[in-house]
Structure 1
Amino acid sequence: MHQQKSARRYSQLSALTGVAALSLVALVGCSGGSGSSESPASTTSSASDPSSSSTNETSTSERTEESEAPSTSSSAAAAPAGSAGALTPPGTKLKLGQPANTHANTGNDPKDAKYKTATFITKVTKIVPGSSADLSAFKDAAKYAGQTPYYVYTETTLTSLSKPTAGMSAPSVDAQLKDGSDAQKLIVFGSFDKCESTQFDTTGKGDALSLKVGSTAISCSVFLAPKGDQISSVSYTDPRFSYVKYSDNQYQDNPIVWSK
């Protein structure tokens, strides 16, 4: 079931390019936004929803909701790389705050002049339980009755870019409940001060605008847990790297996992 869920996500992967991509990146996660006093809108998305794999998402309007598809992370004992270098192996188990070396690309053909790659040091730093009252800020708060929000913070440092670009997305993560099934992600449209994100620094202007190597972005993602349950782990399945063949991505069925 996990592989079927991942295949749907994998078919959606595509990279953002240019300044327009920077505009989208500026909306990633539950950002501080414009400071509008209007209640934020929201929607939930399971990890199987392709619309949730390319950002931590803030976008415009339409709401969709899919049911959860249970999944469990397989185990493998492999030591993570702690600084820029070899990718952290699939199946690595980490504690919160421990680093993993991850990557992303635009396109899947290295011969393409527009093909770019990036590497990162990624850390899941905090899993913070919220209160069901936090959800009252949303216009559609009634649909989340009985749910508890959890705020998952990911710190990502850009360690390399093969070519200057402002259109490279940081790695994204999923979260799991106590039974190992994927938790629903709450996608926020607008400002939500309980869960704010920051972006990579940029350098240059116009066509030369690029993310700044060495800068760090902090992403806050909101996941929902039913009453009596909780977020127990966070997983990385390499969703920002587009492979020529689905089977080439070994993280899909053997993700990197962070837990307390």
Structure 2
Amino acid sequence: MVNGTAVRRRRQTLCVAALATAVLAGCAGCSGSSSDEGKELRFGETASLPGYKDTKLDVTVERLEQGSSSDLSVLKDASKYAGRTPYYLRYKLTKTEAGTSGGASTYFSVADGNKKRLTKLTILGALDTTGDPKNPLKYRGFEKCESSSPSDFDKAAPGQSVTGCAVYVADAGAGAPTGVTWEQGTKTLATWK
């Protein structure tokens, strides 16, 4: 009987070890998975996310609007964008603590149905002459997608918000975007659909 008891204990130990190994193998990569995978949100919902130097800010993706390729005809090199479709990402950033936005819009990414990233355009405004000696220059922005400046966010008090707009361009024939993500490094922290 002593040998039978020893054999049973050894089998129990092996079974417990096998079960523990199976659980650990099934959970490989589980630690921290909630922060690695990010939050799934609907357009209009807000997520508290790290920004520049891990400063927290509340981010709301309000909507993603499809434009027309003719919208891009006002750009200097308009022929480069012929046949391409612009999408306007409209968002709101709310300051939750002291700090800077650090170019928060750079954390956004938009991809089409094939998971191919759309090209983000940075459109600089132009200064037009007015002929008026008192006000000789007038600023002209891209009217389809104007944004608050990063300095507006930097000057805002905690709890105040600024609105933003970013332009993404899909290649001719590409499908519509499936969502907007907030990414830092290789991590997707939030997805709006």
TM-score range, shorter chain: 0.5 to 0.7
Residue 198 (1) aligns with residue 145 (2): no
Give the alignment's TM-score, normalised by structure 2: 0.65
Structure 1's 222 and 201: CA in aligned 2 closer, same or farther, altered over 3 A? closer
Specify the code of the residue in structure 2 equivalent to 1:104.
G
Partner of residue 170 from structure 2, selected from 225, 241, 251: 225
Shift of 1:155: 0.8
CA contact (8 A) 1:199 1:218 kept: no
Q: Distance in 2 between matches of 1:181 and 1:255?
A: 18
- Identity of paired residues, percent? 28
Shift of 1:170: 5.4
Q: Distance in 2 between matches of 1:189 and 1:199?
A: 12
SS state of the match for residue 222, structure 1?
strand
CA contact (8 A) 2:69 2:84 kept: yes
Corresponding position of 1:130: 67
Specify the code of the residue in structure 2 equivalent to 1:174.
S
Aligned residues: 144
Q: Distance in 2 between matches of 1:254 and 1:199?
A: 25
More helix by share: 2
Q: Distance in 2 between matches of 1:130 and 1:210?
A: 31
Structure 1's 171 and 145: CA in aligned 2 closer, same or farther, altered over 3 A? same
CA contact (8 A) 1:200 1:215 kept: no
Shift of 1:257: 1.0
Specify the code of the residue in structure 2 equivalent to 1:147.
R
| Over 3 Å off, 4+ runs | 199-203
Specify the code of the residue in structure 2 equivalent to 1:119.
K
CA contact (8 A) 2:181 2:191 kept: yes
Give the alignment's TM-score, normalised by structure 1: 0.49
Corresponding position of 2:58: 121
Shift of 1:141: 0.5
Shift of 1:200: 7.0
Q: Distance in 2 between matches of 1:217 and 1:210?
A: 10
Shift of 1:127: 0.4
Shift of 1:103: 2.1
Gapped regions of structure 1 (runs ≥ 5) = 1-75, 79-87, 107-116, 204-208, 239-248
Q: Distance in 2 between matches of 1:202 and 1:149?
A: 25
SS state of the match for residue 91, structure 2?
strand
Shift of 1:201: 8.0
Corresponding position of 1:64: none
CA contact (8 A) 2:45 2:61 kept: yes
Residue 96 (1) aligns with residue 43 (2): yes
SS state of the match for residue 136, structure 1?
helix
Corresponding position of 1:82: none
More strand by share: 2
Partner of residue 151 from structure 1, selected from 82, 88, 91: 88
SS state of the match for residue 73, structure 2?
helix
Residue 258 (1) aligns with residue 192 (2): yes
CA contact (8 A) 2:61 2:192 kept: yes
CA contact (8 A) 2:52 2:104 kept: no
CA contact (8 A) 1:102 1:119 kept: yes
